[in-house]
Structure 1
């Protein structure tokens, strides 16, 4: 019987390894940028085309490689970072497993140019699907340049699973931002389809954050600093008033490596407890330095998850450091029971001398002369003089006379009222009288109860309003010409580069809803007109909610885009649970819901109302 188990060929093994390392163009960007950082480069340039599907190129001025190293770096498990197994617990570099270049070369056309500073000539290597096509000597500058073209050319199934260019570009942008934020001492530049997206010179940490996210980022940053034997924490968090619904600007770096940690994120949220509204997320850029032997970074293929030796201590230190910073910079309220803020001296009165008050007394004043005024003075007072006069009012002796006849008048009013109600009832038939007593009631500022013939209907006010707004917006976007109200003063809204790319893709669909864009730059938009159903203060809320809902990608066809925008705007603008509604607003909401094409469910496929029959209520009272 022949053997069943066989060794895989190298190119097949590389393609399998590529499935773990290379998931999309952003994975290639991450590996190449980290290699450039490990090469001690001070200037790194990223160039992509078609969101990285056609080309990903990284050029650096690092140490470069010799001829032998240039050939060997494409072999599996070839690395310059570790020599022994113990080295895994004292890593200070990015890549170390020796699979990245081999995996990328297995599923793309790859070209490498490298040269060391002491060498006169460099090496130029071309690889296609793990096969070396050529290797030759070339005149090159110091450093290394990797070009990755036609990603997944030999695995069409993987290529078909890639998302749209907008989604893939956003993932590339995320990876670039993570590496750029981790190393503010390196000059980074980023080009997409020939356009410059970023040009970030070497600078301080705060300026790097402002350079990446632009806008009014500098205004919202609060510094965080704490140093203990376990961890050294530094970085910035945002002020509570700048919190957003999306979780885009949240970064943890451990030993200059970006990580994801739900446990540490919970520590940050605990520090903001009590000063943030529900559903809002703060921005943070936190850098943790810990001993290399206290963490394990080899538990995930992309090395974005880390195992800490003492997570509880890190949690407590991080939460305390952020709380201290928020209080120190007067962002969070401070409780001091021994201090009365009303007694604080204003700054402009701090150094002024107090003036002694003066008392003026009228020595000629006699209060008893008023009751014995001469008649001439009384006359002059009544004619508009400066003297005072008092008129003595005699008390009413017969106060009981004020209530004479009151009982008879009350009886007339009551009898007259009953006569009018009888006349009114005679004007309507029984059904109309029954409808007239029907009223809507609001329960716990969440549900609206309305009687019907068979029993009663209970409406969820938030879901019902979402359904009404959703159908209105969708009708305006697809059939009617959306009305727009012009603003007296245009709105300037600032966003990050990733968010601006998303807004630009949705701009045409937003115009059909009634938005008017006057200007669109790299970090902000100017809006001069808004839909009639939206107030000026709600514009930023609507757009932030839209960005949050489209984090996973923008639908490609227009109908799906319109549907997504209508749902997002309905979610933002619908009346929320806990809002008080007047009786007229309750009636309008109920009538508007049952005028919809599909009143049974909300835009998010949840029931908008339930009905209870009289028979069902009777069963509750049955013995």
Structure 2
């Protein structure tokens, strides 16, 4: 009887195994850089083309390999890191399985060059699809250079699932940043298409953290350190006022290995206690040093996760270290006396989330639409709103007899002139009288809808000239944030921003959109980047995400006093938009109360 089970050919087995190790270009960079670190390098140069889809080159000045070792390194499970089973229980290197090089070689065209200090000439090995094509001598410095061309060229099913160039490049920057954090004494240079993207010189931990995350440790973070029972925790914690809306500025490193751990992340949050609000993400970069025998790094294909022999003890130590560091730094926020001297409130006059009305008689924008030009009726893009029930919203005019010096809170007008009946409520809402009742408009989200649609139109038209800054501003971001910002450079320039990339984690802004309300010395750029990070997995397109963020941060705020003319202009512009009843985030803009319902409430 013929057998149904058979051994897979080596080339097929290698491609399957490569699927666990080589997920995307960033995984190739990670494996090659980790090999360089294990080889004792203190200088690594990374060159990438087309987001790593076409070329990845990693050069180091490590100990190098001789000809025989270079050929052996391409064999599966060949490694210099471990020899016996006991070595597996006390791993102190980043790599140890002997899978990376053969896995990468099996799905690319790869060239390896290396030379040791004892050799006069180096060796070059060319590999295609896992098969060695050529071995030759080469003149070069001590160290190793790995060049990968055409990643997944022979696995089309994998190649077509790669993301766009900018997205893949963001993953590479994040990967290199994490390794840079783990080894601050390591000099790393990363270039994309011949242009420097990241330069990390040799530094101490504090300086490296500041370079990678673009912050000032003394002003925005505090140092934490503790040691007990063979474990040591050292790192930096963001002050409670320095929070983000995503976890992009967080790093956990165990014995020099960047890891992901929900348990340890929870321990950090436990240490913060009630100092940060739910939904906020504090900055932290924590280095845990623990005896290698007490941590198992062989539990994940890409070694992103680890398992501790005594997880409870590690949790308690990190939580206590965070709590003690924050307490000693006296980061409990204080209320400024100036806050009580402001004439206008600094925030919304109503609690967040109060957009929903619980009173039965008050209907939402689901009952409202407006007539459109040519008799056509556009449906809202929001499936939650049924705009088939058409009704116009004519504002009722009144004869004004107010003198020029009208009392505060009322708009002066000429006697006998017809003006619309609109008022501002708590400097947050606009109350307007209509033919059969009244409407309430949230001024912030109304303006947000207007700016959102104007911004989208601006992306599809000629670039808008910006307003030149008298003094150009240098803005520093984290390296991951810079990757997001570079992706939206063309869109921001379309709006009128003038931005020059300095490489690394800094840009110079010399122009901003004309009439921009909210700039605050570069804070707007940082807020847009944070929103893009938070919505990284959103299904909406990049233009929509940028427009949503730009509109949210530049719109009129709750707490801003508006004149009657400003309120009327905002209402007119709102009802000229395609979807005047829902903001880009999906919140209602307009709430209506009918006159019949008001009469019923008063028993008329």
**Under a length normalisation based on structure 2, what TM-score does the superposition of the two structures give?**
0.74
> Partner of 1:514 in structure 2?
496
Report if aligned partners of 1:240, 1:282 keep a CA contact under 8 Å in 2: yes
Q: In structure 1, what is the Cα distance between the partners aligned to 2:130 and 2:232?
A: 43
Task: Classify the secondary structure of the residue corresponding to 1:185.
Answer: coil
Going from structure 1 to structure 2, the CA distance change for 1:619 and 1:126 (only over 3 Å counts) comes to: farther
CA positional deviation for 1:67: 3.9
Report if aligned partners of 1:245, 1:544 keep a CA contact under 8 Å in 2: no
> Partner of 2:206 in structure 1?
206
Superposed CA deviations along residues 295-344 of structure 1, whole A, max 9, x for unmatched, are 33223221112233444443333233233333434444599xxxxxxxxx
Q: In structure 2, what is the Cα distance between the partners aligned to 1:449 and 1:198?
A: 52
> Partner of 1:106 in structure 2?
106
CA positional deviation for 1:109: 0.8
Bigger shift: 595-604 or 252-261?
A: 595-604
Aligned 1:321-470 pairs, distance under 5 A: 321-332=321-332, 462-470=444-452
> Partner of 2:5 in structure 1?
5
> Partner of 1:71 in structure 2?
71
Listed as ranges, the gaps of 5+ residues in structure 2 are 336-400, 402-417
What is the RMSD of the two structures over their aligned residues, measured on CA atoms?
A: 4.0
Superposed CA deviations along residues 11-42 of structure 1, whole A, max 9, x for unmatched, are 11111111121121111110011111122233
Aligned 1:154-165 pairs, distance under 5 A: 154-165=154-165
Going from structure 1 to structure 2, the CA distance change for 1:456 and 1:86 (only over 3 Å counts) comes to: farther
Whether 1:568 and 2:521 are equivalent positions in the alignment is: no
Report if aligned partners of 2:469, 2:511 keep a CA contact under 8 Å in 1: yes
Report if aligned partners of 2:108, 2:151 keep a CA contact under 8 Å in 1: yes
Q: In structure 2, what is the Cα distance between the partners aligned to 1:610 and 1:143?
A: 69
Superposed CA deviations along residues 159-205 of structure 1, whole A, max 9, x for unmatched, are 23222322222211221121122112333333333344445443322
> Partner of 2:342 in structure 1?
none
Task: Classify the secondary structure of the residue corresponding to 2:75.
Answer: coil
Whether 1:524 and 2:506 are equivalent positions in the alignment is: yes
Match for 1:534 among 516, 523, 527? 516
Whether 1:593 and 2:590 are equivalent positions in the alignment is: no
> Partner of 1:254 in structure 2?
254
Report if aligned partners of 2:424, 2:562 keep a CA contact under 8 Å in 1: no
> Partner of 2:355 in structure 1?
none
Whether 1:307 and 2:289 are equivalent positions in the alignment is: no
Task: Classify the secondary structure of the residue corresponding to 2:81.
Answer: coil
Q: In structure 1, what is the Cα distance between the partners aligned to 2:453 and 2:312?
A: 49
Match for 2:477 among 495, 519, 525? 495
Aligned 1:18-37 pairs, distance under 5 A: 18-37=18-37
> Partner of 1:132 in structure 2?
132
Match for 1:474 among 437, 452, 456? 456
Superposed CA deviations along residues 107-146 of structure 1, whole A, max 9, x for unmatched, are 0011122333344554332110011112345555433322
CA positional deviation for 1:448: 6.7
Task: Classify the secondary structure of the residue corresponding to 1:209.
Answer: helix
Q: In structure 2, what is the Cα distance between the partners aligned to 1:552 and 1:12?
A: 39
Question: How many residues matched?
Answer: 521
Task: Classify the secondary structure of the residue corresponding to 1:167.
Answer: helix
Task: Classify the secondary structure of the residue corresponding to 1:572.
Answer: helix
Superposed CA deviations along residues 231-266 of structure 1, whole A, max 9, x for unmatched, are 311122234454444533321101110012233333
Q: In structure 1, what is the Cα distance between the partners aligned to 2:54 and 2:141?
A: 25
Going from structure 1 to structure 2, the CA distance change for 1:170 and 1:621 (only over 3 Å counts) comes to: same
Superposed CA deviations along residues 71-126 of structure 1, whole A, max 9, x for unmatched, are 22222233333344454332111112222111101100111223333445543321
Report if aligned partners of 1:440, 1:587 keep a CA contact under 8 Å in 2: no
CA positional deviation for 1:59: 2.3
Q: In structure 2, what is the Cα distance between the partners aligned to 1:205 and 1:244?
A: 22
Bigger shift: 447-456 or 12-21?
A: 447-456
> Partner of 2:41 in structure 1?
41
CA positional deviation for 1:455: 6.1
Q: In structure 1, what is the Cα distance between the partners aligned to 2:162 and 2:192?
A: 18
Structure with more relative contact order (C-alpha pairs < 8 Å, separation 6 or more): 2
Going from structure 1 to structure 2, the CA distance change for 1:164 and 1:217 (only over 3 Å counts) comes to: farther
CA positional deviation for 1:222: 2.4
Bigger shift: 17-26 or 501-510?
A: 501-510
**Under a length normalisation based on structure 1, what TM-score does the superposition of the two structures give?**
0.72
Q: In structure 1, what is the Cα distance between the partners aligned to 2:601 and 2:316?
A: 52
Going from structure 1 to structure 2, the CA distance change for 1:277 and 1:116 (only over 3 Å counts) comes to: same
Going from structure 1 to structure 2, the CA distance change for 1:296 and 1:597 (only over 3 Å counts) comes to: same
Going from structure 1 to structure 2, the CA distance change for 1:465 and 1:131 (only over 3 Å counts) comes to: same
Report if aligned partners of 2:181, 2:205 keep a CA contact under 8 Å in 1: yes
Superposed CA deviations along residues 242-296 of structure 1, whole A, max 9, x for unmatched, are 4444533321101110012233333334444555567553332210012323333
Going from structure 1 to structure 2, the CA distance change for 1:41 and 1:193 (only over 3 Å counts) comes to: same
Q: In structure 2, what is the Cα distance between the partners aligned to 1:480 and 1:61?
A: 49
Going from structure 1 to structure 2, the CA distance change for 1:194 and 1:239 (only over 3 Å counts) comes to: same
Going from structure 1 to structure 2, the CA distance change for 1:103 and 1:517 (only over 3 Å counts) comes to: closer
> Partner of 2:233 in structure 1?
233
Report if aligned partners of 1:554, 1:561 keep a CA contact under 8 Å in 2: no
Task: Classify the secondary structure of the residue corresponding to 1:551.
Answer: helix
CA positional deviation for 1:569: 0.8
> Partner of 2:190 in structure 1?
190
Bigger shift: 602-611 or 91-100?
A: 602-611
Q: In structure 1, what is the Cα distance between the partners aligned to 2:121 and 2:473?
A: 56
> Partner of 2:584 in structure 1?
603
Report if aligned partners of 2:211, 2:505 keep a CA contact under 8 Å in 1: no
Q: In structure 2, what is the Cα distance between the partners aligned to 1:309 and 1:518?
A: 49
> Partner of 2:390 in structure 1?
none
Q: Which structure has the highest helix share of the two?
A: 1
